């Protein structure tokens, strides 16, 4: 069966092979890597191949780490999930008094999308502080808090700022001290474009334009942090996946909160519910991540002890369906 599964994965990964922006693929079964490979290039211009150690911008796959950080602070009694976002960020407008941290975690807060508030002519990257200022000038949300679902990068940017306020540490330092270092995710970091440190083994993002791959690594919204700023490799994400099965990082109660369906996902092209930083579809826990030049997904089948992770430094194809097909031979027995 393993041979068939590997050949299926090779066939499905063929678009990533050759002189093209690439990908790294990991299949974990019963805690062991059964496929662990790089395809194509992490850096086209210098012909640097993608490997299992290549670090990709995770984009929204980062949200599960932001959610875990909030849950760790709740375990520390530094904050409560029922706290108002305005309690922590008092420059926000009065209507945000009713928005709880848990509603930002599951995208039911209703805050306006910061992306829609950026002036059209702006070329300078938007910071977390800029997002806070943009939302501070609003006087309404999309709906009353807790009444509906709308995917919100705004909410996760603000959660990143709450982590800093509640912990007394910078967001990169907290994530390193409480998540990355304890799990020996030694090549993972929250990247700050203007500050560093540099990303080790960095993959650069590309987009297909008029039949040619062009580097499109940064956009106006690539500098925000809590919603998508982490860089990591499949090797480090294997350590993250392992920690989600036991108490080495999060308590059983916190993991239950993260993996429980709190709200039905709407306005997105798949059936799912949302936990805290995770989508839930059937027996799978998963999340995708898309930003300029990167497309990623992690899909976990905890009952089968199976995880498939595909990280890519290109704008196409979207990898979720590819990963579901790659997993089929492992699910068929």
- CA 300, 305, 311, 317 dihedral sign is negative
- Residues 6 or more apart from 6 whose CB is under 8 A from it? 34, 35
Q: Which of 266, 249, 250, 270 is nearest to 258 (CA)?
A: 250
Could you tell me if 168 and 225 are in contact, meaning their C-beta atoms sit under 8 angstroms apart? Answer: no
- Identified catalytic residue from 60, 62, 167, 312: 60
The yes-or-no answer on residue 60 being catalytic is yes
- Residues 6 or more apart from 237 whose CB is under 8 A from it? 26, 185, 298, 309, 311
Q: Which of 80, 222, 232 is nearest to 157 (CA)?
A: 222
Number of Cα atoms under 13 Å in the Cβ half of residue 291: 26
CA–CA separation, 57 and 53 (whole Å):
13
Phi and psi at 91, nearest 5°, equal -80, -10
Q: Which of 24, 32, 90 is nearest to 296 (CA)?
A: 24
Starting from the edge strand earliest in sequence, which strands make up the sheet with 279-281, in order?
32-39, 23-29, 306-312, 294-301, 284-291, 279-281, 273-274, 263-264
Residues labelled catalytic:
60
């Amino acid at each position: 069966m393993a041979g068939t599964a590997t050949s299926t994965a090779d066939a499905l990964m063929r678009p990533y092979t050759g002189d093209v922006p690439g990908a790294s693929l990991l299949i974990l079964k019963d805690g062991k890597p059964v496929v662990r490979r790089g395809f194509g290039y992490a850096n086209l211009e210098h012909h640097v191949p993608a490997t299992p150690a290549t670090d990709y911008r995770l984009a929204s796959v980062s949200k599960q780490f932001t959610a875990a950080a909030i849950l760790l602070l709740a375990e520390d009694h530094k904050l409560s999930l029922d706290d108002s976002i305005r309690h922590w960020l008092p420059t926000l407008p009065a209507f945000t008094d009713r928005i709880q941290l848990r509603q930002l975690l599951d995208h039911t807060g209703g805050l306006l999308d910061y992306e829609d508030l950026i002036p059209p002519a702006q070329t300078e990257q938007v910071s977390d502080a800029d997002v806070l200022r943009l939302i501070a000038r609003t006087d309404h949300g999309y709906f009353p808090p807790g009444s509906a679902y709308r995917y919100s990068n705004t909410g996760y940017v603000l959660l990143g700022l709450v982590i800093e306020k509640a912990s007394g540490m910078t967001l990169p330092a907290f994530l390193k001290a409480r998540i990355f270092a304890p799990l020996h995710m030694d090549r993972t970091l929250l990247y700050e474009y203007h500050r560093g440190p540099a990303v080790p083994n960095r993959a650069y993002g590309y987009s297909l334009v008029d039949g040619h791959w062009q580097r499109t690594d940064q956009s106006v919204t690539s500098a925000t942090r809590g919603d998508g700023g982490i860089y990591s490799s499949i090797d480090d994400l294997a350590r993250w996946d392992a920690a989600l099965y036991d108490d080495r990082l999060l308590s059983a109660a916190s993991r239950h909160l993260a993996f429980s369906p709190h709200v039905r996902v709407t306005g997105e092209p798949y059936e799912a519910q949302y936990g805290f930083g995770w989508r839930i579809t059937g027996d799978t826990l998963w999340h995708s991540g898309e930003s300029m030049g990167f497309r990623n997904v992690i899909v976990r089948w905890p009952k089968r002890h199976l995880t498939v992770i595909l990280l890519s430094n290109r704008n196409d194809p979207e990898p979720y369906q590819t990963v579901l097909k790659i997993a089929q031979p492992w699910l068929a027995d």
